Amino acid sequence: MEYRFTSTTLLMMGGLLIWGADFLIVYTFAAVACARQFADLELAGLGIIPAVTVAVSALALVAAALIGRSALRRLQARNPEQPRRFIDFLALAVSVLAIIAIAWNALPALLIEEAC
């Protein structure tokens, strides 16, 4: 079996790459909203920053969970071959870590009332 380098790397690090995208979007949105003065807008009863943060974080959580779940399934299928198992283990563990980090990243937007 031939391993493709780029896709293997993306799979192994997938969870945290999703976290990275989530982080970047949430931070950039909040920073731009403050700098360009549209942070007072509201969306679905929430301030626009918390609303966007919650939405983006929820998406990111689902994506990280999906990567983790597919890796877990492959691991449970007891495919004995290395480095396949190792790659799947990393994909799973990285997603778990990513889920924690994504959740933490959403906290400030939920706990801090004043956005700017």
Partner 1 sequence: MSPVEPRPLPNKLPRPPGELEALEQRWQPPRGWRILSAVNNTYVGLFYISAALLFLILGGVLALIMRTQLAVPENTLVDHDLYNQLFTMHGSVMMFLFAVPIVEAIGILLLPAMLGARDLPFPRLSAYAFWAYFVGGMVFFMTIFFDVAPDGGWFMYPPLTSSEYSPGLRSDFWLLGIGFIEISAIAGAIEIVVGILRTRPPGMTLDKMPVYVWAMLIVGAMIIFAFPPVILATALLELERAFDWPFFIAERGGDPVLWQHLFWLFGHPDVYIIFLPAAGVVSMIVPTMARAKLVGYRWVVLALAATGIISFALWVHHMFAIGMPHMTASFFSAASMAVAIPAGIQVFSWIATLRSGRVQNVVPTWFLVGFFAIFVLGGLTGVMLAVVPFDWQAHDTYFVVAHLHYVLIGGLVFPVVAAIYYWAPMIGGERLSERIGKWAAALMFVGFNLAFFPLHIAGLLGMPRRVWTYSASLDWDIWNLLSTAGAFVLAVGFAVVFLDVLLHLRVKGKINANPWNASTLEWLPLDNYAARSIPRITSRDPLWDNPRLREEVDSGQHYLPGLATGERETIVTSPIDAQPQYLLRLPGPSWLPLLAGLGTAAFFLFLTVKMLIPSAIGGAVALLSFFKWLWQSDPAPSGRPHDIGDGIKLPDYMSGPRSHAWWATTVVLLVDGTVFACLVFSYCYFWTVSPGNWPLAPFEIPALGATLISCAAWAAASGLLWLANRSLRASRLAFHSALLAGMVLLSGSFALTWEALATSEAAPDIHAYGAVLYAMLAWQGVHVLTSLLMAGYTLARSWAGLLDHARRSTFDNTRLVWHYTVAQGILALLVTQLPRLAA
Partner 2 sequence: MDDSRLQSVLHPAPGSGSALLDQLGTVMYVGAALIFLVVIALVIHAVLTSPKPADARKWVIGGGLVFPVIALSALLVYSISVGNAPERRGSDHTLRIRVTGKQWWWEVSYELPGSARSIVLANEVHVPIGRPVHLELATDDVIHSFWVPALAGKVDMIPGRTNHLVLTVAEPGIYRGQCAEYCGGQHAFMALYVIAESPDEFARWLERQSQPASMPTEPFLRTGYEMFFAGGCHDCHAVRGTPATATLGPDLTHVGSRYSLGAGMLRNHIGTMAGWIAGTQDVKPGSFMPSMNVYTGQELRALSAWLESLE
Which residues contact partner 1 (rule: CB under 8 A)? 2-3, 5, 8, 12-13, 16-17, 19-20, 23-24, 26-27, 30-32, 34-36, 49, 82-83, 85-87, 89-90, 93-94, 97, 100-101, 104-105, 107-109, 112, 114-116
Contact by Cβ (8 Å): 52, 43: yes
State the Rg of the chain over Cα.
17
Upper half-sphere CA count for residue 81 (Cβ side, 13 Å):
5
Rank residues 3 and 41 by Cβ distance to partner 1 and give the closer one: 3
Interacting residues toward partner 2 by CB under 8 A: 100, 104, 107-108, 111-114
Query: What separation in angstroms does the CA of 70 have from each of 27, 43, 61, 63, 91?
Result: 29, 34, 14, 11, 9
Q: Least distance in Å: CB of 55 to partner 1? A: 16
12 binds, among partner 1, partner 2, none (CB under 5 to 8 A by kind): partner 1
Q: Least distance in Å: CB of 5 to partner 2? A: 28
